[in-house]
Amino acid sequence: MLRVGLCQMRVHPGEPARNAEIMLRWIAEHRGRCDLLVFPEMCVPGYFLGDAWERSAFLRECEFWSQRIVEATARGPAVVFGNVAVDWNAKNEDGRPRKFNAWILARNGKVSEHPTLHRPYGVKTLLPNYREFEDARHFYDTRKLAQEIGRPWENFVEPVTLDVGGKPLRLGIVLCEDAWEDDYAQKPMEVLARKKPDLTLNLSSSPFTRGKNGKRHRVFGAKANLIGSPLVYVNCAGIQNNGKTLYTFDGRSTVYSRDGKVLQEMAAYEEGVTIVDVGTSGHDKHEVSTDRVINEIHDAVRYGAEKFLESIGTRKVVVGVSGGIDSAVSAAVFAEFLKPDELLLVNMPSRFNSSTTRNLAKTLAQNLGCLYAELPIEESLGVSRKQLHAYEAVSLDGKFKTRLSVENFVFENMQARDRGARLLAAVAASFGGVFSCNTNKAELTVGYGTLYGDIAGFLAPLGDLWKEDVYALGRHLNGEVYRREVIPEGIFAVTPSAELSEHQAVDEGKGDPLIYPYHDRLFFSWVQRWNRATPEEILEAYLDGSLEKDLGLPEGFKLKTHFPDAKSFITDLEKWWSLYNGIAVAKRVQAPPILAVSSRAFGYDHREFLGRSVYTRNYQDLKQKALTL
């Protein structure tokens, strides 16, 4: 029996001293209480650090703290942890010092040498280079090392021996992606299975996405069963980002039995050490967390928003509330962890805003018990419109001139920018805080929002949630979090609308041009589906009558109700596809950071280029066929 401490720590990216201090404290606190402490992957430097890996001073700082951690094991317990390892005498393919994503095993104040690498660390074999991951940009792996020195890479996936109570214990230690091997040609876990370790350790830095934990259990349970030994999975907590997309790391460190059962699982986002007695044989009763997806989404959004505020050093937030669902959910999430005098809701009506939505915004603030302000924009809009409309701009030599015109569409955008760039920004500065961006993923997909207007703020906490997710989160907040109606029922019932003109009058049932039950799922197929759809696949399914099923439209939703013929369907399809690939890209590039909860969050998880929409030849043929039926 081995007593193992699962060290689920909040990793602070780019702060090796801060991370090492946590580790040193936990090592000191657990002397005599366990045999082995297991920390996460890259727990000293952090994981998502952009190109900070190119700074030699930063690398030396990581090495310094690594040595301090090793020295701290002089009086026990043994420790395994993740850090960057540097071979200053070799180069990466970019010409910079060679770096490895490495694990280090230390005991009695000394490092255990890897038995086949003959280095004071082990090296990650599989470097993910997809979605938000770009390990191969910075790190060398065992596959390249093997090729360089002419040895099989399998030689470097080797158990290391740890003496426990006078008995040698063979540990198979791997890092995160090494267990997610199924789509790789090289399979480290299969190699370990042939070498029969007594215990397998997986040190991870694994960000949360919806449904991720269930997949982890399937993957790691299968690997434990394959190897035939217990498996200890240790993941970090905290938030990290790649400059554009913010990720929560949910921890959920877990011990699996030799036959793949879950023996113990730490709570999501918990920080601390859980000590587990791990047997190297036998079968144990297991418990598996059964959180619903909406619970996980809520926890990620709340945790991510709170920790991001903490990381930028502020506790005050301004939320522009319209009386609609997006701003209401944002406000309710912030109200969970901010004090009443740290949250200011601001309603900014014009003549197009109904008394219905204005009253709903006020009721929301009353229910949350936070600060509230109503700051009309009609007067300032009038000044801007008067200043610009019919103004004649003339070149200084008098040769060229043009007359400005504030048409309806321009005036709609002026309202949004007056609320965001002028008023909310000024209110936040006066309040000593920041203001939130309340946009959702459907709007971001097609750029249905005004740059520097409602697409502005310090963070888009709902930017990776489809509209139906926002409604579900609102229901969850009322029913499970607050257990009372903080978001008024009228907000769920009111027609979603920007209320920027008389054509969006909510009391007349007029609102956004998006049909959310349909467009949510259409846009999902473009952005998140594994085999990402284009208009070609969509039109093909429309013509053969399978589109409603293919998109998973709600029961009872009929396309014919909204698009009575092929022409109207195609017009709508091409409108949004052109926006998604056109101006919406420019808006997303300039949008606030997005808090990721799914695969393919906008930013570095959904990489794109500025171009224009194109349609395949097959689509053009299908279109011609559809319009002539």
Q: Report which of residues 288 and 608 the model is more confident about.
A: 608
Q: What is the mean pLDDT of the chain?
A: 95
Element counts in the chain: helices (H) and strands (E) = 21, 22
Helix (H) or strand (E) run with residue 199 in it:
strand 199-204
CATH 3.40.30.10 fits 2-83+158-286, yes or no: no
- Spatial contact of 334 and 319, defined as CB atoms under 8 Å apart: yes
**Side-chain-side CA neighbours of residue 149 (13 Å):** 13
Write down the pLDDT at residue 255: 98
Q: Residue 57: what residue type? A: A
Question: Minimum mean pLDDT among 112-116, 289-293, 379-383: which range?
Answer: 289-293
The CB density around residue 295, as the number of other CB atoms within 10 Å, is: 15
- Judged against a pLDDT cut of 90, whether residue 291 lies above it is answered with no
539-596 pLDDT, tens digit each? 999 999 999 999 999 999 999 999 999 999 999 999 999 999 999 999 999 999 999 9
- Judged against a pLDDT cut of 50, whether residue 283 lies above it is answered with no
**Average pLDDT, integer, range 284-309:** 83
The CB density around residue 31, as the number of other CB atoms within 10 Å, is: 13
How many Å from the N-terminal Cα to the C-terminal Cα in the chain?
Answer: 73
Helix (H) or strand (E) run with residue 539 in it:
helix 535-543
**Average pLDDT, integer, range 272-296:** 73
Sheet strands (E) in 387-537: 392-394, 401-403, 434-435
Domain range summary for the chain, segments of one domain joined by +: 2-83+158-286, 293-511, 515-629
- Spatial contact of 100 and 81, defined as CB atoms under 8 Å apart: no
Which of 12, 463, 22 minimizes the C-alpha distance to 249?
12
293-511: which CATH number, 3.10.180.10, 3.40.50.960, 3.40.50.620, 1.20.810.10? 3.40.50.620
Tokens of residue 355, six digits: 């008394």
- Confidence grade of residue 350 (pLDDT, cut at 50, 70, 90): very high
Query: Omega of the bond prior to 128 within 30 degrees of 0, cis?
Result: no
